[in-house]
Amino acid sequence: MLFNSIDFAVFLPIVFILYWFVINKNLRWQNFLIVVASYLFYGWWDWRFLSLILFSTLVDYTIGVLLDDEENKTKRKLLLWISILVNLGLLGFFKYYNFFLDNFVNAFSFFGYKINAQGLNIVLPVGISFYTFQTLSYTIDVYKKKLQPTKDFIAFAAFVSFFPQLVAGPIERATHLLPQFLKKRIFDYDKAVDGLRQMLWGFFKKIVIADNAAQLANEIFNNSSNYSGSTLFLGALFFTFQIYGDFSGYSDIAIGTSRLFGFDLKKNFNFPYFSRDIAEFWRRWHISLSTWFRDYLYIPLGGSRGGVWMKIRNTFIIFIVSGFWHGANWTFIFWGLLNAIYFLPLLLLNKNRINTNTIAEGRYFPSVKEFIQMSVTFGLTVLAWVFFRAENINHAFNYLSTIFSRSLFTFPNFPKMGDALKTIILIIIFILIEWFGREEEYAIAKIGNGWNRVYRWVWYSFIIFLIMFYMKTTETPFIYFQF
């Protein structure tokens, strides 16, 4: 079920009314309703994949209970590895089987050996990369004794399948979200209103910014051989705002929806395009995934505590694995590699944590230095996104070679230039709103709060009007569903 669908517009109020006005006095029934609603939400795409969520839930719940009763270190480690192998095995089979098979065949073909191997016609289950990592965090934290395992299966099932963030995050830690299912929740009007406001901004990002930018980015990337460097650069810019508006928009809707039901999810995006270096960008982009890899991969590998070569090794591992997590394509791996190259000088010079505050904090405008830093970081990010969006490595390099040619200095020209100009205006408005709201949880968290009621509702009505005006007749899936 898509957030931007009529189905969800009907689904959400029904669940909300049942949750707060019918079974609000019974915590266990509330959790059970969340499980049922979440399975319905997920099964709307393909009910067959519900078995995967249920299986993963059963495995990690059982292992958590067994770990609680087991003190033998060898047996505890065995239980942990069962969870890791089962979860990553499912993820690897559905997401990477054909990738490894194709590359295995190609490698032998390179040396003159022909292997006949038939790939599988496998449909990637929506959100498997997200809920797999969420359940793994539970088992790992129980193993490390950072979390007491729950004996409440319904609460655990609700934690794994919680519908607002099930298919595209944020990837929640069990230490943060699971305890919220175990305590009574009381309706908070102010929190609910704040949730609706954040949902509104998420829909604006998705429908007004991302979907419009997507049409233009697709036109340019799909026909890149026909256009000049300036047009291709414009296409890269459109994709840059498409992926941000789409993914951070989903996170805003997920976090806002969770607030309606009395839950707090972790912030997943913190205005990343206002970053002053790549290290800051990665502290602000897809925060739940970045911190997951930091805590469960980077630090166990030694982090930055070792010598220079260990720092280099761990940096490349974390970024390449992050790229591979996004998809079974060499373009994603190269995207991760490129970001590692961006990040490495900062790490080696111990400058990777010099920009931890908000840019131009307490000021309307950045300094000249901050503006240059922000522009350079944004430019590097735009170039990296070309690999993320390209069909293959050759496409990406051809795309970039055209950008860095004399045609970069021509005026962009392609059939949808009229739509492009309108979208650029919308993006500029979007950037300004994000800039002035960058110190808040989300851009419009405080905008309009102190205004006269009439002006405040004119402001919200204007956002709603733009959403309705640009809403497509056909539902457009969120970009991260494919990951």
pLDDT value at 17 more than 90:
yes
Helix (H) or strand (E) holding 22: none
The answer to whether residue 410 sits within a structural domain is yes
Residue 308 lies in a domain: no
Q: Bigger pLDDT: 44 or 177?
A: 177
Read off the pLDDT band of 479 (50, 70, 90).
confident
State yes or no: pLDDT of 21 exceeds 80: yes
Tell whether 425 and 471 lie within a shared domain: yes
User: Is residue 455 one of the residues assigned to a domain?
Assistant: yes
Q: Is residue 336 part of a domain?
A: no
> Which secondary-structure segment (H or E) carries 378?
helix 368-389
Give CA separation, 219 vs 215, 216, 384, 417, in Å: 6, 5, 19, 11
% of the chain at pLDDT higher than 70: 93
Lowest-pLDDT range, 197-206, 256-265, 270-279, 304-313?
304-313
- What confidence tens digit (pLDDT) does each residue in 363-410 have? 999 999 999 999 999 999 999 999 999 999 999 999 999 999 999 999
Helix residue spans in 2-127 (DSSP H): 6-17, 27-43, 50-69, 73-110
Number of domains in the chain: 2
CA proximity to 13, closest of 168, 199, 184: 199
Q: What is the pLDDT of residue 117?
A: 62
Dist. CA 171–CA 174, nearest whole Å: 10
What's the average model confidence in pLDDT over 313-317?
Answer: 92
pLDDT tens sequence across 33-78: 999 999 999 988 778 889 999 999 999 999 999 998 888 999 999 9
CA 472/CA 429 separation, integer angstroms:
21
Over the chain, what is the mean pLDDT? 90
Q: Are residues 260 and 392 in the same domain?
A: yes
Helix (H) or strand (E) holding 472: none
Q: Same domain, yes or no, for 364 and 229? A: yes
Alpha-carbon span 67 to 71, nearest angstrom = 8
The residue type found at 471 is M
**pLDDT at 483 (0 to 100):** 62
Domain-ending residue, one of 172, 187, 202 = 187
State whether 111 and 160 are in the same domain: yes
- Are 111 and 211 contained in the same domain? no
Domain endpoint, select from 187, 209, 231: 187
pLDDT band for 3, please (50, 70, 90 cuts). Answer: confident
Which pLDDT does position 127 carry in this prediction?
A: 83
Query: What pLDDT is attached to residue 45?
Result: 79
Q: Is the pLDDT of residue 160 over 80?
A: yes
**What is the average per-residue pLDDT within 81-101?**
84
What pLDDT, on the 0 to 100 scale, is given for residue 106? Answer: 63
Whole-angstrom distance, CA of residue 101 vs CA of residue 93 = 11
Q: Is residue 342 part of a domain?
A: no
Q: Check whether 245 has a pLDDT greater than 80.
A: yes
Distance (Å, whole) CA 276 – CA 354: 10
Please choose, from the candidates 237, 238, 228, the residue with its C-alpha nearest in 3D space to the C-alpha of residue 412. Answer: 228
CA distance 438 to 425: 20
Contact 379, 310 (CB under 8 A): no
d(CA 15, CA 13): 6
Q: pLDDT tens-digit profile of 457-473?
A: 899 999 999 999 988 76
Q: Are residues 181 and 227 in the same domain?
A: no
Reply yes or no: is the peptide bond before residue 170 cis, omega within 30 of 0: yes
Tell me if 301 is assigned to some domain: no
Q: How far apart are CA 444 and CA 436, in angstroms?
A: 9
> Helix (H, G, I), strand (E, B), or coil: what is residue 393?
helix
Query: Domain range for residue 142?
Result: 6-187
Find out whether 89 and 81 touch, Cβ atoms under 8 Å.
Answer: no
Coil/strand/helix, residue 305: coil
Supply the pLDDT for residue 123. 72
Cβ–Cβ < 8 Å for 334, 394: no
Q: Map tokens 């003159």 to a residue.
A: 112
The pLDDT score that the predictor gives to residue 292 is: 94
Residue 58 phi, psi dihedral angles, 5° rounding: -65, -45
Q: Is residue 212 part of a domain?
A: yes
Same domain, 205 and 59: no
Closest by CA to 177, choosing from 195, 153, 198, 160, is 160
pLDDT digits (tens, 9 = 90+) for 329-360: 889 999 999 999 999 999 988 899 899 999 99
Last residue of a domain, one of 152, 187, 222: 187
* Co-location of 416 and 460 in the same domain: yes
Residues tagged active-site: 326
What does the block give as tokens for 95? 């997401």
The CA distance from 336 to 332, in Å, is 6
Q: Are residues 195 and 168 in the same domain?
A: no
Residue 227 inside a domain? The answer is: yes
Residue with tokens 């060499």: 330
Same domain assignment for residues 200 and 180: no
Model confidence pLDDT, tens digit, residues 94-115: 887 766 666 666 665 655 666 6
What's the length of the chain?
A: 483
Claim to verify: residue 360 and residue 264 sit in the same structural domain? yes
> Residue 244: its pLDDT value, please?
96
Q: How confident is the model at residue 261 (pLDDT cuts 50, 70, 90)?
A: very high
Domain co-membership, 101 together with 174: yes
Instruction: Take residue 396 and report the two structure tokens written for it.
Output: 């990406």
